[in-house]
């Protein structure tokens, strides 16, 4: 049976590239995001199916995963990609912007992981990959809200890895040390790292945090 890959937070950059990379590998890919019109365009480019849902809405997200299981079966791979950047240092960041980011980046990861984990536990395998950012470790004055939400998602991914690893479920956060779209950080190139992680054999050494590219975190 062809494995199902669900990409949550599929935008026109990295999310689209990840979906396309998995589709080219032969996986069945389902893209999930809020904007249905844009999502349909992204899915057409990626060669994927799509389902429009606001992943900050817990009941709607759980209903969406029920629909996914009914239509496509159980996901073998979950890629969690959503984030939002309110451009301001911490002293000028509204509380609402901070909380919105937590709901999108960490809240939706919590719900999505809870939805895919039962079948992965039953099968004794599965992969959950979370898009991270170096700002989760260094902080940021450009977008303190983004740094905080990525830190929350990173911590949750590490917690999921500790809980689910013994059940054969591999969880990792892919921490990106740069700006998407700049030289060396082309989405299609980074997307291949996700495919390679999901394709790693069961006996391969696994780390819950993968850095792109491999280099020490620098303060900025």
What is the per-residue pLDDT across 55-105, written as a single tens digit (0 to 9) for each?
Answer: 999 999 999 999 999 999 999 999 999 999 999 999 999 999 999 999 999
Please determine, for residue 121, whether its predicted confidence score (pLDDT) is greater than 80. Answer: yes
Element (H, E) at 176: strand 169-176
Largest Cα span, the chain: 52
Reported as a single tens digit per residue, the pLDDT across 166-209 is: 999 999 999 999 989 899 899 999 999 999 999 999 889 999 99
What count of Cα atoms within 13 Å lies in the side-chain half-sphere of residue 21? Answer: 23
Residue 55 is encoded by which pair of tokens? Answer: 């992943």
Q: Is the CB of residue 57 less than 8 Å from the CB of residue 82?
A: no
Quick check: pTM over 0.75?
yes
Nearest to 22 by CA among 38, 34, 33, 10: 10
Please determine, for residue 154, whether its predicted confidence score (pLDDT) is greater than 70. Answer: yes
- For the chain, domains (ranges, CATH) are 4-212 (3.40.50.720)
Nearest to 208 by CA among 160, 153, 139, 138: 160
């Amino acid at each position: 049976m062809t494995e199902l890959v669900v990409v949550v937070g599929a935008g026109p950059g990295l999310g689209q590239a990840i979906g396309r990379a998995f589709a080219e590998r032969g996986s069945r890919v389902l893209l999930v995001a809020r904007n249905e019109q844009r999502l349909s365009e992204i899915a057409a480019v990626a060669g994927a199916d799509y389902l429009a849902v606001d992943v900050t809405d817990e009941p709607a997200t759980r209903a969406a995963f029920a629909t996914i299981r009914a239509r496509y079966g159980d996901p073998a791979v979950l890629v969690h990609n959503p984030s939002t950047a309110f451009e301001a240092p911490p002293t000028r960041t509204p509380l609402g912007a901070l909380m919105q980011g937590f709901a999108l980046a960490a809240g939706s990861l919590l719900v999505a992981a809870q939805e895919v984990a039962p079948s992965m536990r039953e099968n004794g395998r599965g992969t959950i990959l979370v898009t991270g950012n170096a700002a989760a470790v260094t902080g940021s004055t450009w977008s303190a809200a983004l740094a905080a939400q990525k830190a929350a998602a990173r911590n949750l991914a590490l917690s999921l890895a500790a809980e689910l690893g013994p059940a054969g479920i591999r969880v990792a956060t892919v921490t990106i040390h740069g700006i998407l779209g700049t030289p060396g950080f082309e989405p299609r190139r980074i997307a291949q790292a996700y495919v390679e992680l999901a394709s790693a054999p069961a006996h391969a050494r696994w780390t819950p945090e993968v850095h792109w590219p491999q280099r020490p975190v620098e303060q900025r």
